Amino acid sequence: MDIHEHQAKDILARFGVPVPKGGVAFSPEQAAFRCRELGGGRCVVKAQVHSGGRGEAGGVKLCEGEAEVRDFAASLLGTSLVTKQTDAAGKRIDRLWVEEASAIERELYLGFVLDRKSERIMIVASGHGGMEIEDLAEEDPESLIRMVLDPAVGLAEYQARELAFKLGLQGAQIGQMVTVLKACYRAYRDLDAMMVEINPLVVCKDSSLVALDAKMSFDTNALFRRAEIAALRDPGQEDPRESFAADHGLAYVGLDGDIGCIINGAGLAMASMDMIQLAGGEPANFLDIGGGASPERVCQAFRTVLSDQNVSVILVNIFAGINRCDWIANGVIKAYTELGIELPVVVRLSGTNVEAGRKLIAESGLPIISADTLAEAAEAAVAARPTLIAAQ
C-alpha cells in the first residue's frame, strides 16, 4: 500500500527525520492560508498523487506569495496528473502539500528496500538526487551505493557513518546523516514497510540535511496489525477494480485484455494467463480468490471481474485443495443467477469434490462451458470471445 508524500513526511518526522514545515490543502483558499502560516513568502506547492515524476508533469511549482499559490492550487485541484509512471488517465489531484522553500546546495538520493536476492533490507544511496532510481541506475550506475543490513544486528552506526563518507558529507553533516539513516531504518522495521525513499535528501546552504520529498509503501499483508497505517490508504489513488477487490479480501490486478480470470493460487493464475496468451487471447486481470472460498466469495469475485467493461469472457480455473469444487460451482451458479450474467463463462474444476462440482454445473441448466484441462479452458475462452474481438 502506498501513501502520500505528506503522510510519509509526517511518519518520518516522528522517527527523527528533518522535513520542511508545511501543511495539507484541499482547496485554493486553504493552500493560500497554508502559505500565510509559513510567512506568506516563497512556498513550494506539490500535487499529492501516488506517482513519481510530478515535477516534470507540472505538478510541483515554486510560488511567490499567497496569490500565486492560490492560482496554482486552483489550476491543479480536481484535475488529473499524467506522469511517466501513470497511464493515460493519470492520477486525480484532490489534495496539495504546501511547504516552505529550502535553500538547496546539493541533492542526494536515499532509499530503503527489500532485496529479495539476499533476503535483507538494502540501503541504496547516490550523490545525485532528484532523479528516479531507474534513471540513476541507467544513466549513472557507478553513483549508486548499496549496503545490505543484517536483520539480527540492524543498522550499525559505523555503517551509517561509512555511507555518509561515501556520499561526500563532512563535519556535522556526518552526524545528521547517521540520524536520518537510523530514523528511516526504524520506520521501515517498526511499521512493516516495503520501501522508504527520500528523493531528494538535500544539503541546504546552512549545511543542514532536509528530506525534501518522501515516499513509503507498506506490506499489505501486515496492515491488520498496523491500523494507523491502514487508515492512511487513499482509495481515490487506486484502480477502482483493485479497491473493490481489496475491500472483499481478493487479490486483484487489472490488465489490458478482455478475458476475465477467476482462479485460486498465484502460480495457477500465472499459468492460466500464460495459457490464455498461448491460445491467442489476452487476460483482463489477475484474480486469486485464495483458499477456502465460499460461494459468496466467488460471487464477489464475479462482481469484481464484471466491473471491468472490457471483459467479454470469464474463465474460472480452480484446483481445489483447501477449496472444494462444489463450493466453487455453487458460487458460479449464484453469480449467474444474482448478477444476470450474459457473458460466456468457461469453468474448469479439478481436485477436492470435483465430481460433485461438475455435476452441479451440468445440472444447473445454465449455458456454462465446462473444460477438463487448463489448455481446453483457455482455448474455449478464446473461442467464446465475440466475433469482433476475436477478429482483432
Residues annotated in a binding site for ATP: 46, 53-55, 99, 102, 107
Q: Which three cell numbers stand for residue 305?
A: 471481474
Question: Which one from 185, 197, 252, 336 is the annotated catalytic residue?
Answer: 197
Question: Which one from 66, 109, 188, 336 is the annotated catalytic residue?
Answer: 109
Give the C-alpha distances (Å, rounded to integers) separating 173 from 180, 198, 337, 366.
10, 16, 67, 71
Give the C-alpha distances (Å, rounded to integers) separating 228 from 9, 17, 48, 189.
15, 19, 19, 15
How far apart CA 179 and CA 107 sit, in angstroms, is 17
Establish whether 197 is a catalytic residue.
Answer: yes
Q: Which three cell numbers stand for residue 331?
A: 458460487
Give 388's Cβ-side CA count (13 Å radius). 2
Annotated binding-site ranges for Mg(2+): 199, 213
How far apart CA 37 and CA 22 sit, in angstroms, is 9
| Strand ranges, E, within 101-161 | 104-115, 120-126, 144-149
Which alpha helices (H) appear in 104-239, and where do they start and end? 133-139, 157-166, 172-190, 227-230
Residue 54 and residue 60 in contact, taking contact as beta carbons nearer than 8 Å: yes
Whether the ω angle into residue 200 lies within 30 degrees of 0, i.e. cis, is yes
DSSP 3-state assignment of 342?
Answer: coil
Annotated binding-site ranges: 46, 53-55, 99, 102, 107, 199, 213, 264
The secondary structure element, H or E, covering residue 318 is strand 313-320
Q: 144-149 and 120-126: which strand pairing?
A: antiparallel
Residue 304 and residue 250 in contact, taking contact as beta carbons nearer than 8 Å: yes
Phi, psi (deg, nearest 5) at residue 180: -65, -45
How far apart CA 206 and CA 211 sit, in angstroms, is 15
Annotated binding-site ranges for substrate: 264
How far apart CA 293 and CA 324 sit, in angstroms, is 8
Active site residues: 109, 197
